Structure 1
């Protein structure tokens, strides 16, 4: 991550990442979870914050291990010198076995074929393959059927180069009854095995303390973002959790122009000017992760004042209405996500306005936007 502001200025748009916020968030989360341990989920480029930045900050904050979606993400961390336990959360094919063993990555496994491939590779490399055996307790996605977990575990334990580190599932519901039923189903599977276990994401961890098991997978909360259902329902998080957002997005106004009543704005003419107006152009669009769903629905902060997005958000640009902000100047820095004076726009605000979830916003933040460290 670049710490030089002039680097960002050359792009005229950038993302600020506060790694101390991630560190402090994780410290608060680990204290809240205890005795359950925190597995910090850093997939999708650390939820847009930067894979290495997020990983180092999470470990410094007290996370025991890291979770990634793909072997490639784990390899990148190993090559960057990260030595903490790393779990590949997604299913991988047998031809990834050599890479998983070479870089000491634990793999989520749902079938015997992958176990056999990992065992063969581990034998050849004279290593031990760490696996987490996953069952599907109701989400209908990755996982062996509950009825097959006993035989899968037995097979894994019979292989000389396989070490079963944990059993896992993923609870993908929001309502308490379905959460409780999946937690109980998973608890029955785990009960007689003597294995460690993990089952939850940030939302379920907040809704159900029994879901924490030995380890709890935390993603959104690491970055100071609450799950959207809680945000939309204005439900509080535990008072002991002290979280703050770790990411902001800023851009500079690259053009100012006047518009007359009746003039349309941007692709498709979806907004028509109804008064003499002053418009500003921002060098940010959906290719950077600023959602097209914010067309005529989003707003930005200019000198602490909300200014609406007008017309369709384009691939590389967006238009904002500066009519009620007459002191705005060419080159001014505006806030798309973050705080300006007493006003704030959060990732949750963007998700609500765009009709999506914060994961979608964060994962979509493009690599074109330089990540700049927040000054200490």
Structure 2
């Protein structure tokens, strides 16, 4: 957890003191464990804790009644609205039916709903259409007395690449124009936030007064382009290691075939280790026969198909290997490291998925 705290401090230093930071801890804090991450980030001063849903908000509220402000980025079912408003949890307002629903719930609770109005500036996922945003914001401000517009926000479609820079700049322009217009009309909104991790790093003009940082606080750059451009400017380190131990060892002769479907044939006499980790634990089956792990400082190939709760590894190159030896799936042993970026590339996906898919049933051990 100390690494996450240091990462946040490094990001704060980079973006400057005028910009507040919201920690995105959705999806079990990107696989890191939401409760312990909240405990850590709350010690270094974040303005909001951004979650996916009511379940995550509830878990945080039970453990940390006086925690930082919670903002639910996704939708909230009508039966959960009263709890959200009573507990002062912030709501994302992103469609035209929300004001009426939120207003009724607020009247029942005797408390104003605090909302962050999401504007669709080009992501085309959630949000009020940018062309209608000023009208909608004005209507809510004037007609819904039980709704407090605490923030307005949007989301970049691709702020982490060189190829779509023009599109990103168009999103910034749309959002800026909306902010300028509502302020010209006398509507003051406390928080304006557009940037995710990549945007916060790569587009200083789009930071406004709050940025939502997710993957970067866990020490992973949001794209290879951002990593190459900024890794020497922002000192962040991966916070998570994924480890297991050898549960079985056996010597097999050349020509033997390994695992389901007999998908791998040994090219020489080999020592094969079995690890108690598989796709049920979030380790991708597509890494069969192409992934690697680290044993005693050496990279060892995965052989055969990854099973639901087990995988086989060729440890022939490791001297004095034995049962219960530690095996690193993500992380490092000295100078030898396997990072989420590398695994993602082999799986034709992104580092976000590699981290988020680690099952909650996998035990976590936290270090300060």
| Same-fold call, TM cutoff 0.5 | yes
Q: What is residue 101 of structure 2 aligned with on the other side?
A: 117
Farther-moved stretch of structure 1 (138-147 vs 108-117): 108-117
Counterparts of 2:132 and 2:52 in 1: how far apart (Å)?
A: 24
How is 1:56-205 mapped onto 2 (pairs within 5 angstroms)? Answer: 56-82=39-65, 83-157=67-141, 158-173=143-158, 174=161, 175-194=164-183, 195=189, 196-205=191-200
Counterparts of 1:230 and 1:311 in 2: how far apart (Å)?
A: 33
Counterparts of 1:95 and 1:116 in 2: how far apart (Å)?
A: 15
For the Cα contact (< 8 Å) 2:297–2:334, is it kept in 1? yes
Structure with higher RCO (Cα < 8 A, 6+ apart): 1
For the Cα contact (< 8 Å) 1:91–1:142, is it kept in 2? no
Q: Give the drift of 1:240.
A: 4.2
For the Cα contact (< 8 Å) 1:94–1:114, is it kept in 2? no
Q: Deviations over 1:165-212 (max 9, x none)?
A: 111111111321111111111111111223331112112222221221
1:215 aligns with 2:206: no
Q: How many residues align?
A: 355
Counterparts of 1:273 and 1:265 in 2: how far apart (Å)?
A: 8
Counterparts of 2:52 and 2:167 in 1: how far apart (Å)?
A: 25
How is 1:1-376 mapped onto 2 (pairs within 5 angstroms)? Answer: 19-34=1-16, 35-82=18-65, 83-157=67-141, 158-173=143-158, 174=161, 175-194=164-183, 195=189, 196-230=191-225, 235-237=228-230, 239-374=232-367, 376=368
Q: The residue matched to 2:332 in structure 1 has which SS?
A: strand
Q: Flag the 1:283–1:238 CA change in 2: closer, same or farther, 3 A.
A: closer
For the Cα contact (< 8 Å) 1:176–1:207, is it kept in 2? no
Q: Deviations over 1:261-284 (max 9, x none)?
A: 222212222221111111000000
Q: Give the drift of 1:75.
A: 1.3
Q: Give the drift of 1:246.
A: 1.0
Normalised to the residue count of structure 2, the TM-score between the two structures is: 0.92
For the Cα contact (< 8 Å) 1:307–1:324, is it kept in 2? yes
5+ unaligned residues in a row in structure 2: which ranges?
A: 184-188
Q: Give the drift of 1:238.
A: 5.6
Counterparts of 2:79 and 2:181 in 1: how far apart (Å)?
A: 32
RMSD value over aligned CA atoms? Answer: 1.6
For the Cα contact (< 8 Å) 1:293–1:355, is it kept in 2? no
Counterparts of 2:307 and 2:146 in 1: how far apart (Å)?
A: 52
Counterparts of 2:347 and 2:82 in 1: how far apart (Å)?
A: 42
Return structure 1 stretches of 4+ with deviation > 4 angstroms.
Answer: none
5+ unaligned residues in a row in structure 1: which ranges?
A: 1-18
For the Cα contact (< 8 Å) 2:254–2:269, is it kept in 1? yes
Farther-moved stretch of structure 1 (247-256 vs 290-299): 290-299
Counterparts of 2:335 and 2:96 in 1: how far apart (Å)?
A: 56
